[in-house]
């Protein structure tokens, strides 16, 4: 299949070479202590992480990149940059073993494995860590029919893989070879990679055998992995077949992995309404089991699937931390080249360029995870909508975080920091007392020096269809446009008259300020007072990005779109308001509404 929607990306990736040391010192990596807490070996600190699942090296995303003539590696670079901007530091993936194995479990060195290796290396450059699930059991077709492969999962299927002796041998062989595989981009075998926090044996096994059989199966998988010499923690799924919890806890796995889809999956339509009561708490039926309490606990997948608003993610993160979870990874971050059509997993939708409010909400959820201690309880809904530095406002589809130095918001907000002079980082959508913006994309304002700021403005994002309706590569659900917009920055140290200089490659836009207000187009800019003399290089590093990096899709709105936002029901003999949104690359000269009798 071929798409002709102009999805070629504008991408500027300016990397300073980063050495990836090919060794695993004795005091590096992670371990699980006697209380079930995952810690770093080098300083014994408790590990906390929050991130995403992502699948461009495999299955549908891999095939679509080929069909569209997209470079897989360039696509991975683009998406990893956006993950870095969102403050995500964990990558979890259930590896499509069916694409990188044969029927007896031999590891196949092919393009899928190479792209997986490349993804790991690119994420390492951004400081990310990993939870790797070597066995997915899935076919590689979704949302298409499965393709026939040589893998053991294709030969046996999930059910047989859990009980067939030959299938079990194939998995032992595969796990041993997978962990011994040396990533050519990092020169590290996965068994020794200190950035892998944990291995999860397999994705969502549905056991039906006896407890003894299940424990034996898990132990055989763990033994095959330990045979490589790895000391990395090994976890097992405990959110499926929970009647076998004793089998899991009596095995040699060091902890459990969990998921949460509180609104179910695949509604094939957007779900509207307030679902916050459904994520009031994350309940684990066996949470008081003494063995479980001393086991490691992470969340491998979660999403308020099909929910239209952006307000859910911080609430879910809060409930996970209250339940004692150390890591959580959202499912699934959409590759930028696919996000306009959302064909990969139509029941999920996450993209910084195409769904900025959702992405900013995920950034705020990451902050929740890193700032809130495990097991801290904030009470029940609705009181727990306001907790620590965070606010969840369903009625305004707004979540925000305000700490002494950072201010994030996913929609228009009236919240004003008490000490503006302490703020060094702003990430937002819409307007706040510090930044007023009439665009429809995300923006990031970071202090990079004394009275010197880096401003990054994304293109406007427009939903032009239901992103959760039945998927089709011929149905575009979102578009971006590059518009000249108005922005006002109200930071005392900049004053009302400051200079703005474009710094990303190919950006020659010039603008001037008046009382803090200026016109702006997508790109990266250096902002400093008119008297400022600081020279900033595009190659200069700031945290885990280069100052001049910028990644965004080209404009891809095919034609003007009119969205009717008028209420579907009206009261007779009462005034009503007609509301339409007109989406166009060029501002219309005139818009007319014609009314006709029913």
| pLDDT tier, 598 (very low <50, low <70, confident <90, very high otherwise) | low
Q: Is the pLDDT of residue 298 over 60?
A: yes
Q: Is the pLDDT of residue 18 over 60?
A: no
Q: Is the pLDDT of residue 119 over 50?
A: yes
Q: What is the pLDDT of residue 499?
A: 97
Of residues 569 and 92, more confidence is placed in 92
Chain position carrying tokens 């940059």: 81
- Crossing angle of helices 59-68/72-85, nearest 10°? 120
> How confident is the model over 325-342, as pLDDT tens digits?
999 999 999 999 999 999
Regarding pTM above 0.75, the answer is yes
Q: Is 119 helix (H, G, I), strand (E, B) or coil?
A: helix
Q: What is the pLDDT of residue 26?
A: 64
Domain ranges within the chain, ordered by starting residue: 40-371, 387-553
Least confident residue range of 151-155, 203-207, 519-523, 566-570: 566-570
Kindly give, in sequence order, each residue whose CB lies less than 8 Å from that of residue 232, ignoring residues fewer than 6 positions away.
Answer: 29, 30, 191, 193, 196, 197, 198, 199
Q: What is the pLDDT of residue 2?
A: 31
- Crossing angle of helices 313-322/356-371, nearest 10°? 20
Mean pLDDT of 9-37: 66
Distance CA 108, CA 151 (A): 9
Chain position carrying tokens 């819409």: 430
Q: Is the pLDDT of residue 8 over 60?
A: no
Of residues 587 and 284, more confidence is placed in 284
312 to each of 136, 180, 357, 368, how far by Cα in Å?
A: 27, 39, 11, 12
Q: Is the pLDDT of residue 5 over 60?
A: no
Q: What is the pLDDT of residue 10?
A: 55
Distance CA 339, CA 354 (A): 7
Least confident residue range of 139-143, 300-304, 388-392, 441-445: 139-143
Which of these CATH numbers, 3.40.50.11260, 3.20.20.150, 3.40.50.360, 3.20.20.80, describes 40-371?
A: 3.20.20.80
> How confident is the model over 51-99, as pLDDT tens digits?
999 999 999 999 999 999 999 999 999 999 999 999 999 999 999 999 9
Q: Is the pLDDT of residue 17 over 70?
A: no
What is the pairing mode between strands 435-437 and 498-502?
Answer: unpaired
Q: Is the pLDDT of residue 9 over 90?
A: no
Q: What is the pLDDT of residue 576?
A: 87
192 to each of 132, 189, 583, how far by Cα in Å?
A: 13, 5, 51
Distance CA 494, CA 517 (A): 12
> How confident is the model over 542-555, as pLDDT tens digits?
999 999 999 999 99
Q: What is the pLDDT of residue 285?
A: 97
Phi–psi pair at 233, nearest 5 degrees? -55, 140
Q: Is the pLDDT of residue 166 over 50?
A: yes
Q: Is the pLDDT of residue 593 over 50?
A: yes
Q: Is the pLDDT of residue 4 over 50?
A: no
| pLDDT tier, 12 (very low <50, low <70, confident <90, very high otherwise) | low
Q: Of 522, 523, 527, which Cα lies nearest the Cα of 512? A: 527
Q: What is the pLDDT of residue 586?
A: 86
| pLDDT tier, 588 (very low <50, low <70, confident <90, very high otherwise) | confident
| pLDDT tier, 25 (very low <50, low <70, confident <90, very high otherwise) | low
Of residues 23 and 68, more confidence is placed in 68
Q: What is the pLDDT of residue 107?
A: 98
């Amino acid at each position: 299949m071929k798409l002709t929607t102009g999805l070629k990306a504008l991408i500027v990736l300016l990397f300073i070479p980063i050495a990836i040391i090919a060794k695993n010192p004795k005091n590096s990596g992670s371990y699980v202590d006697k209380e079930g807490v995952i810690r770093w070996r080098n300083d014994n600190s408790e590990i906390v992480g929050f991130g995403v699942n992502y699948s461009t090296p495999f299955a549908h995303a891999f095939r679509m990149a080929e069909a569209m003539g997209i470079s897989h590696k360039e696509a991975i670079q683009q998406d990893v940059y956006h993950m870095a901007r969102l403050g995500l530091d964990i990558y979890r993936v259930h590896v499509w073993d069916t694409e990188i194995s044969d029927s007896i479990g031999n590891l196949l060195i092919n393009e899928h494995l190479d792209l997986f290796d490349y993804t790991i290396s690119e994420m390492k450059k951004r400081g990310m860590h990993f939870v790797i699930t070597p066995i997915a059991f899935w076919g590689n077709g979704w949302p298409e029919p499965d393709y026939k492969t040589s893998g053991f999962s294709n030969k046996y299927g999930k059910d047989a893989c859990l009980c067939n002796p030959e299938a079990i041998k194939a998995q032992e062989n595969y796990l041993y070879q997978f962990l011994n595989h040396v990533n050519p981009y990092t020169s590290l075998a996965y068994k020794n990679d200190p950035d892998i926090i944990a291995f999860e044996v397999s994705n969502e096994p549905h056991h039906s055998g006896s407890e003894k059989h299940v424990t034996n199966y898990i132990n055989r998988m763990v033994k095959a992995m330990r045979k490589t010499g790895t000391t990395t923690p090994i976890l097992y799924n405990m959110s499926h077949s929970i009647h076998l919890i004793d089998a899991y806890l009596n095995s040699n796995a060091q902890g459990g992995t969990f998921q949460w889809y509180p609104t179910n999956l695949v509604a094939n339509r957007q779900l509207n309404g307030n679902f916050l009561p459904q994520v009031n708490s994350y309940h684990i039926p066996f949470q008081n089991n003494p063995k479980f309490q001393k086991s490691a606990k992470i969340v491998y997948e979660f999403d308020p699937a099909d929910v239209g608003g952006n307000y859910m993610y911080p609430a879910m993160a809060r409930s996970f931390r209250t339940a004692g979870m150390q890591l959580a990874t959202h499912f699934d971050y959409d590759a930028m080249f696919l996000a306009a059509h959302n064909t990969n997993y139509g029941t999920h939708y996450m993209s910084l360029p195409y769904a900025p409010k959702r992405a900013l909400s995920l950034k705020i959820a990451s902050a929740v995870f890193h700032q809130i201690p495990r097991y801290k309880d904030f009470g029940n809904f609705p009181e727990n909508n306001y907790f620590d530095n965070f606010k969840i406002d369903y009625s305004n589809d707004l979540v925000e975080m305000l700490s002494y130095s950072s201010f994030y918001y996913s929609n228009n907000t009236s919240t004003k920091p008490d000490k503006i002079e302490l703020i060094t980082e702003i990430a937002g959508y819409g307007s706040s007392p510090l930044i007023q913006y009439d665009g429809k994309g995300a923006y990031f304002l970071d202090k990079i020096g004394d009275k010197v700021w880096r401003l990054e403005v994304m293109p406007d994002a427009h939903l032009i269809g239901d992103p959760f309706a039945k998927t089709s590569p011929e149905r575009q659900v979102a578009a971006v446009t590059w518009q000249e917009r108005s922005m006002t920055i109200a930071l005392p140290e900049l004053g009302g008259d400051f200079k703005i200089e474009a710094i990303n490659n190919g950006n020659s836009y010039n603008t001037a300020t008046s009382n803090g207000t200026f016109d702006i187009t997508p790109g990266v800019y250096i902002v400093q007072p008119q008297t400022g003399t600081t020279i900033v290089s595009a190659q200069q590093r700031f945290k885990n990005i280069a100052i001049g990096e910028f990644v965004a899709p080209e404009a891809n709105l095919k034609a003007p779109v009119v969205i009717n936002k008028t209420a579907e029901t009206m009261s007779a003999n009462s005034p009503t308001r007609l509301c339409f949104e007109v989406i166009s690359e060029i501002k219309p000269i005139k818009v007319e509404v014609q009314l006709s009798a029913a």
